Homo-oligomer: A and B are copies of this chain.
């Protein structure tokens, strides 16, 4: 009874929201898992999730269950979280520190590089080298971890990494620690969570805490009304000032946007913040006394970084907030947020956790409520695609166009 995916892709109207089946149909959800999450670079976490030898982290990208492990040579590896014997899930906790990966069922034992080291009761001609854990491609972009489940991953990761490293590197993710993490189940398709992130049209009404520090203009918002011109001019003056200062400090800061013209889409820009201009906190000042990396200047605004299909990040002088979206079902998604500070920062002394997390903890809940309302609407029979605002929702359109393009390209291949 549902319309064919090819038909839906072909008839998508640029500038309009996606038709309902993209947000509700289990068959299209399976296609999303296969094409988008199975064949693109997916952001999964940060190196500080697995800082030490023997550290493992599990990540579930829909039905793709993955282990990320750091071996004794500090090398990172990614594998399917499935035993090669009877198929049992190997690791069941979000993180672990272990010497080997031992299957809980029959104790088949794998090294942290995935090699099968021990399997009792197998015959003499059993070839252990054919039964190592199945590998998943893994890359670290200056500390941001991406996996790709395809045999041959998109080749443009390197270009993205070269472009973005100068922006990210000064924040020195590898010398950070995860001060806090939270997962929220949002009651809408993963693309609704992404669409919500790709515009700030809703910010002024929905996000009183966040808009103390950020400028909606930095996220595609074009002000309207009597004060529009003055607002825009002020914002651009602040941007210009920040970029000049960054340039003086050797920090990359100018906008680079390839959301819709690459397989691995991304966008970045260093943006000014309001008032004290230091951080995305309730008082716009740094939440952590110990600055990141070798940074000495507090007032660096916020480096905004987006990747397609599933992440966004805010890098300030004192902390980083990093967001990953994982599909759960056609109509639900997981939003995973982590707050990073310098690894030597001491809670209670250098930072107060409640203060550090206040803005995005509140903002996430507000966004989750809106995504739930969008999810409830698009599953109603009365829903029809509506128009994006050309000036204020252009980056949402880029997300949707990227998605449609990637799906269509994959079906054509």
Contacts and interface: CB of A to CB of B under 8 A. Distances in A.
Contacts of A389: 120-123
Given A376-B65, A384-B134, A121 B88 contact: no
A246 interface: no
A3 to B, nearest CB: 14
Say how many copies of this protein the assembly contains.
Answer: 3
User: Which of A66, A80, A389 counts the most chain B CB atoms within 10 A?
Assistant: A389
Contacts of A392: 120-121
A284 to B, nearest CB: 25
A88 to B, nearest CB: 4
Contacts of A195: 86
A81 interface: yes
Size band of the A side of the interface? Answer: 35 or more
A63 to B, nearest CB: 5
Interface string A351-394: 00000000000000000011001101111111111110111110
A224 B118 CA distance: 13
Given A104-B373, A120-B224, A82 B391 contact: no
A90 B27 CA distance: 27
B17 A87 contact: yes
A234 interface: no
A12 interface: no
Nearest to A19: B87
A84 interface: yes
Interface in A199-214: 201-202, 205-206
Contact of A391 (B64, B123, B369, B380): B123
Given A105-B202, A386-B83, A377 B88 contact: yes
Given A107-B205, A370-B105, A389-B121, A82 B380 contact: yes
B374 A105 contact: yes
A43 B154 CA distance: 53
Contact of A82 (B88, B92, B126, B382): B382
A106 interface: yes
A399 to B, nearest CB: 13
Contacts of A92: 373, 376
Contacts of A370: 88, 104-105
Contact of A382 (B64, B222, B373): B64
B386 A86 contact: yes
Contact of A84 (B120, B379, B380, B386): B386
Secondary structure dominating the interface of A:
loop
A343 to B, nearest CB: 32
Interface string A23-42: 00001001000000010000
B106 A380 contact: no
B379 A126 contact: no
Nearest to A92: B373
Given A89-B377, A121-B201, A377-B87, A386 B134 contact: no
A149 interface: yes
User: Which of A81, A88, A206 counts the most chain B CB atoms within 10 A?
Assistant: A88
Contacts of A258: none
Contacts of A81: 377, 380, 382
19 contacts: A1-B27, A65-B380, A80-B383, A81-B377, A81-B382, A86-B374, A86-B377, A87-B374, A87-B377, A88-B373, A92-B376, A106-B205, A107-B205, A120-B224, A120-B392, A121-B222, A122-B389, A123-B389, A123-B391
Interface of A: 1, 17, 20, 27, 30, 38, 62-66, 79-90, 92, 104-107, 120-123, 126, 131, 134, 136, 149, 195, 201-202, 205-206, 222, 224, 369-370, 373-374, 376-387, 389-393
Given A87-B378, A89-B374, A106-B202, 11 more contacts: A62-B381, A63-B381, A65-B377, A82-B378, A82-B384, A92-B373, A105-B370, A105-B374, A106-B201, A121-B201, A121-B389
